[in-house]
Structure 1
Amino acid sequence: MAELTIRKMELEDINQVMFVELSSFTSPWTEEIFIQELKENQHAHYYIITIDEKVIGYVGMWIVLDDAQITNIAILPGYRGQKLGEKLFRFAMQRAISLGVTKLSLEVRITNIVAQKMYRKFGLVPGGIRKNYYTDNQEDAIVMWVNLL
């Protein structure tokens, strides 16, 4: 049976995280951005999900005081549709709550209905639109948020 683990992202994980990133986004982050997040951003919290030590996804968030912002979340395409994104997102929410977060927010592409449905399962609701938010195609983002109290 495959061993599923969620743990803190380490610098040694970045090569595998980059494979997830490049497989998931049209405007992927660079390796340097991940290194900077892990080494220099005191507000950054990144976690990976692995199956048998293979990184199949990750989630990142910034926590400032009692407010969390999900920066990104991705699951390798071959592992989607198995509720692994939900498991990873639930972990991030629980981690945020344990760190004293009371509000959580994120941006999601207006066309990403699958992600929006998942976020709604966790109580997130639309709170506004960021016009031309995505640099690859100027697509609008929906800001979604939830009060964790």
Structure 2
Amino acid sequence: MAQLETVNIRPMTISDIDQVMIVEHSAFDVPWSRNAFENELVNNHFAAYFVAEYGQKIIAYCGVWVIVDEAHITNLAVLDGYRGNKVGETLLRKVMLYARAKGARTVSLEVRVGNDIAKNLYRKLGFRSGGIRKNYYSNNGEDALVMWVRL
């Protein structure tokens, strides 16, 4: 299992997308496409993505948009088999520090209302409930809980 001291967090590059797609498919029923990640890295000047590496293997990634003084977490995923080792927490803390350094005062995200593990992580990092987006997830119509934190 991954130990915090052996996980390296760094900015995502185009050459990481193949490994990121493995993480994406392990984490989500409706995964983003390769083109979506390429577009985020190349064309979206508000976006920044980070990966967590264990050895030469990407085991997690997180994306954020920073627009003026607000940041929005686009996605956070940890590869099956590496969950429960604080990799997601460490990665999200790094992304929050990045957003703050870029001038963000708040960070928001959406999470499935039924994803208690993720909601507990976000609450641990200071996120609070801010509302519900009805039928947000296209694969099953599940609602999303919007969560916010002040940096």
Bucket of the pairwise TM-score, normalised by the shorter protein:
over 0.9
| Percent of aligned pairs with the same amino acid | 49
In the alignment, does 2:12 pair up with 1:6? no
Cα offsets for 1:104-145 (capped at 9, x unmatched): 000000000000000001110000000000000010000000
Stretches of structure 2 that go unaligned for 5 or more consecutive residues are none
Q: Which residue of 1 aligns with 2:100?
A: 97
In the alignment, does 2:43 pair up with 1:37? no
Q: How many residues align?
A: 148
**Alpha-carbon distance, 1:53 to partner:** 1.9
Q: What TM-score does the superposition give when structure 1 sets the normalisation length?
A: 0.97
Output the CA distance in 2 between the equivalents of 1:83 and 1:147: 22
Stretches of structure 1 that go unaligned for 5 or more consecutive residues are none
Instruction: Describe the SS at the equivalent of 2:140.
Output: coil
Output the CA distance in 2 between the equivalents of 1:125 and 1:36: 30
**Alpha-carbon distance, 1:37 to partner:** 0.4
In the alignment, does 2:141 pair up with 1:138? yes
RMSD between superposed Cα atoms in Å: 1.1
Q: What TM-score does the superposition give when structure 2 sets the normalisation length?
A: 0.96
**Alpha-carbon distance, 1:44 to partner:** 0.5
Cα offsets for 1:27-85 (capped at 9, x unmatched): 10000000000000010110000011210000001110010000000000100011111
Output the CA distance in 2 between the equivalents of 1:80 and 1:88: 12
Q: Given the alignment, which residue of 72, 92, 97 partners 1:69?
A: 72
